[in-house]
Chains A and B, each alone.
Chain A
Amino acid sequence: MKVINKNQFIITYFNLYGVKLVTQSTQEESLLNRYGKTLRTDRWWFEPLLVGIGLFLFIMYSTVSAAILGNYWSYEIGPYLSPFFEPLFYTDVIPKWVSPAIFILWAPLSFRMTCYYYRRAYYRSYFLSPPACAVREPANSYAGESTVPLIVQNIHRFAMYGALIFVPILWNGAIRSFYWEGEIGIGVGSLILTLNAFLLSGYTLGCHSFRHLVGGGLNSFTGSKYQVIRKKVWDMVSSLNAHHKKWAWSSLIIVGFSDLYVHMVAAEWIVDFNTWGSFF
């Protein structure tokens, strides 16, 4: 077996981006002499690589499932509707090749794209800005989120208002999944959709902008009864927020899996264990 040398690996990783790691000024050069790209000896490249692959897979999968295949891969079976298509927009006016998911996906998409956690994740993994702490950033200049285009990230709170609407909508889908042809029941699909709604709620309600909205913007929590209540809510949101990264990943993985599960049951690739019997 050929063993890949770590340095070789790192260089390949950078070269993927066609990035030159050499800088011009002599001051910079002397710093490069002293510190190289990094003096770190641990596996600092592992987390950004894993995160980069994970996000890439999700983006690929959701694009294919929700936007490209759309109506050509059934997303609904029995009481289950894939969360990518919730709420279902369907009229005869829209041609078949237009996926009903694209009418709603922009909302969760813009929410996740501008989320403070995902920003950190893709700035590190894709922009290499920086790839890991104390590892030289390849770009020669940097203005962060102070100029176009990244200044756009400031819309996150508006994306959050949109995402809040989806919390009850997905709970509605989860509750519906316990009811089929006039009969209350339960199936593996109902449990998955409920888990999905739960994780999405934890992710959305732990949002930094939401935390600011409910109480983070206040300087006093004791001025009025209303402020005392806001402090309580702020505390709850803060405890979700402390684990925002975990909520972000678990809800991302489960929403993709819920979609895949519904597709697989609908395509009769697998059988859904439930109290109703077959949906076919």
Chain B
Amino acid sequence: MPIVELKVWRGGDDGEYQTFHVEYDEGEVILDVVHRLQSTQAQDLAVRWNCKAGKCGSCSAEVNGKPSLMCMTRMINFTSGDVIAISPMKTFPLIKDLVTDVAWNYENARKVPHFKPKERDADGKHRMMQIDIERGQEFHQCIECYLCQNVCHVIRDHPENKENFVGPRFFIQMAQVNMHPLESVSQKPDALEGYGLDYCNITKCCTDVCPAGIKITDNAIIPLKERLIDDKFDPLRWLGRKIKIGNSK
């Protein structure tokens, strides 16, 4: 079997990269090789995983500096003798080895506006059409791997922004709620303010790394920025709202 040289981060913040030589097969993924490492040379290696199918979002890490799912990074892209650095996600506090504490994301999940449906129709029913919810369904593909949160330079390189910025994963959640045909949230004037939309400079790294292929920037962030501009910066819209013409959502 061919062999690669793995440089894996071991320990907590004061840890270091350790080098291992591990056999692999062309048909495998990085996670297989990490498992082989764990069973043959480093039994105490901490690594999170569940489905090995790119669906649970547990195995997020950085492979040669690229935020990726270990179970979706194929060994066929490497050749025998290659050096592969495997690091934990940078943006979240490190627990041990490849495992980070992603609790900050759960806090943001509570912080962003949640779906509150409008009044029911007179017959007591809620009605919506498929065509109206298609946009939001793209965002249902999210597997909560938090790779987008990890790569976003707003918090990756400037941790002090974590207080004012919920991150791309939660921008898609906000978009899902804000664009829903039955929601009542977007009617509130501050529905989009205070979550850090204006910190995003649309450089699209979140879209680039998303394993679910969600067009985070084009279909969630920019449309939300435009909606925020409607509310905040557009005098024509402001006038329209005063005299009650224009977009009725």
| Residue positions of A touching B, CB distance < 8 A | 27, 30-31, 34-35, 38-42, 116, 119-120, 123-124, 129-130, 133-134, 136-137, 141-146, 150-151, 154-155, 157, 208-209, 211-212, 216-223, 231, 241-242
**Nearest CB in chain A: distance from B156 CB, A:** 7
Q: Is A40 a contact of B64 with CB atoms below 8 Å?
A: yes
Most buried by A among B183, B232, B234: B234
- Return the CB mask of B159-181 against A: 1 if under 8 Å, else 0: 11100000000000000001111
Q: Which of A41, A119, A124, A133 contacts B209 (CB 8 A)?
A: A133
Instruction: Give the residue name and chain of the A residue nearest to B7 (CB).
Output: A39
Q: Is A217 a contact of B227 with CB atoms below 8 Å?
A: yes
Residue B125 at the A interface, CB < 8 A?
Answer: no
Q: Is A133 a contact of B90 with CB atoms below 8 Å?
A: no
Main secondary structure of the interface of B (DSSP, over half): mixed
Q: Is A34 a contact of B198 with CB atoms below 8 Å?
A: no
Q: Is A221 a contact of B132 with CB atoms below 8 Å?
A: yes
| Residue positions of B touching A, CB distance < 8 A | 9, 13-14, 62, 64-67, 85, 87, 90, 128-129, 131-132, 151, 153-154, 156-161, 178-181, 183, 186, 196, 198-205, 208-209, 215, 218, 222-223, 226-227, 229-230, 232-234, 247-249
Q: Is A145 a contact of B201 with CB atoms below 8 Å?
A: yes
Q: Is B203 a contact of A217 with CB atoms below 8 Å?
A: no
Q: Which of B87, B157, B222 contacts A136 (CB 8 A)?
A: B157
> Inside 8 A of A35's CB, which chain B residues have their CB?
62, 65, 87, 90
> Inside 8 A of A119's CB, which chain B residues have their CB?
201-202
Report how far A151 CA is from B87 CA in the complex, Å: 35
Q: Is B87 a contact of A145 with CB atoms below 8 Å?
A: no
Q: Is A212 a contact of B87 with CB atoms below 8 Å?
A: no
Q: Is A134 a contact of B205 with CB atoms below 8 Å?
A: yes
Instruction: Give the residue name and chain of the A residue nearest to B64 (CB).
Output: A41
Q: Which of A150, A154, A231 contacts B233 (CB 8 A)?
A: A154
Most buried by A among B153, B186, B199, B202: B153
Given contacts A133-B208, A137-B157, A146-B198, contact A208 B62 (CB under 8 A): no
Q: Is A133 a contact of B205 with CB atoms below 8 Å?
A: yes
> Inside 8 A of A217's CB, which chain B residues have their CB?
226-227, 230, 247, 249
Q: Is A34 a contact of B64 with CB atoms below 8 Å?
A: no
> Inside 8 A of B199's CB, which chain A residues have their CB?
142-146
Q: Which of B131, B204, B232 contacts A120 (CB 8 A)?
A: B204
> Inside 8 A of A242's CB, which chain B residues have their CB?
215, 218
Given contacts A38-B65, A39-B62, contact A154 B229 (CB under 8 A): yes
Report how far A134 CA is from B157 CA in the complex, Å: 9
**Across the A-B interface, the 8 shortest Cβ-Cβ residue pairs:** A39-B65, A40-B65, A133-B205, A212-B226, A144-B199, A146-B198, A130-B153, A137-B157
- Can you list 12 A-B pairs with a CB-CB distance of less than 8 A? A27-B159, A34-B87, A35-B65, A41-B85, A120-B202, A133-B151, A134-B66, A145-B200, A154-B229, A219-B186, A220-B132, A220-B249
Q: Is B131 a contact of A216 with CB atoms below 8 Å?
A: no
> Inside 8 A of B186's CB, which chain A residues have their CB?
219
**Nearest CB in chain B: distance from A42 CB, A:** 8
Q: Is A129 a contact of B229 with CB atoms below 8 Å?
A: no
Q: Is A34 a contact of B181 with CB atoms below 8 Å?
A: no
Report how far A134 CA is from B153 CA in the complex, Å: 7
**Nearest CB in chain A: distance from B10 CB, A:** 11
> Inside 8 A of A220's CB, which chain B residues have their CB?
128-129, 132, 181, 249
Report how far A151 CA is from B196 CA in the complex, Å: 13
Report how far A134 CA is from B208 CA in the complex, Å: 11
Q: Is B179 a contact of A219 with CB atoms below 8 Å?
A: yes
> Inside 8 A of A221's CB, which chain B residues have their CB?
129, 131-132
Given contacts A154-B233, A208-B222, A231-B131, contact A219 B181 (CB under 8 A): yes
Q: Given contact pairs A129-B153, A130-B153, enumerate 8 new A-B contacts (beta carbons under 8 Å).
A: A133-B151, A144-B200, A157-B226, A212-B226, A217-B247, A219-B179, A221-B129, A221-B132
> Inside 8 A of B90's CB, which chain A residues have their CB?
31, 34-35, 134
> Inside 8 A of A123's CB, which chain B residues have their CB?
201-203
